[in-house]
């Protein structure tokens, strides 16, 4: 499944893979994805 609305995605999935420009930057649980600094930088601009 490809989805950008994480609030809908996270409750449905045990594992999530995050891509940026076609590159995998993380595969993990929803909690791991939420806490990852690279994911936060790429998707939230932090």
State the pLDDT at residue 43. Answer: 82
Q: What is the pLDDT of residue 5?
A: 82
Element (H, E) at 19: strand 16-20
pLDDT score of 44: 74
**Residue 42, burial from CB neighbour count under 10 angstroms (0-12, 13-18, 19+):** middle
pLDDT of residue 14: 93
Q: What are the residue ranges in the chain where pLDDT is below 70? A: none
pLDDT for 28: 97
């Amino acid at each position: 499944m490809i989805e950008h609305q994480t609030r809908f995605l996270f409750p449905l999935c045990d594992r999530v893979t995050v891509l940026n420009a076609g590159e995998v930057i993380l595969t993990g649980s929803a909690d791991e994805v939420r806490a990852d600094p690279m994911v936060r930088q790429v998707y939230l601009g932090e």
